[in-house]
Amino acid sequence: MNRTRIVRWLRVLLPLAALAMLSTMFLFSRSSDTESRIPYAEVDAEAAAREGRLVAPEYSAVTSDGATIALRAAQGRPTEGGGTAEQLELELRRTDGVTATVTAPTGGAQGDSISLGGGVAMETSTGWRLVTDNLRALTGEGILRADDPIEADAPFGRITAGAMQLEPQDAGRTDGPAILNFSDGVRLIYRPETE
pLDDT in tens, 138-184: 888 888 899 999 999 998 899 999 999 988 877 655 566 788 899 99
Q: Is residue 31 part of a domain?
A: no
d(CA 91, CA 75): 17
Q: Is residue 23 part of a domain?
A: no
Q: Is residue 4 part of a domain?
A: no
pLDDT in tens, 31-41: 655 555 555 55
* Nearest to 123, CA basis, from 159, 87, 153, 162: 153
pLDDT score for 195: 47
In DSSP terms, 75 is beta-bridged to 55, 86
Q: Is residue 103 part of a domain?
A: yes
Q: Is residue 32 part of a domain?
A: no
Q: Is residue 66 part of a domain?
A: yes
Q: Is residue 166 part of a domain?
A: yes
Predicted model pTM: 0.68
pLDDT in tens, 52-109: 777 888 888 888 878 889 989 988 888 777 788 899 999 999 888 889 999 999 998 8
d(CA 43, CA 117): 25
Residue 105: give the domain boundaries.
Answer: 45-190
Q: Is residue 14 part of a domain?
A: no
Total domains present in the chain = 1
d(CA 156, CA 2): 93
Burial per residue of 25-37, b for 16 or more beta-carbon CB atoms within 10 angstroms, e otherwise: eeeeeeeeeeeee
- Contact between 122 and 151 under an 8 Å Cβ cutoff? The reply is no
* CATH (domain of 166): 2.60.450.10
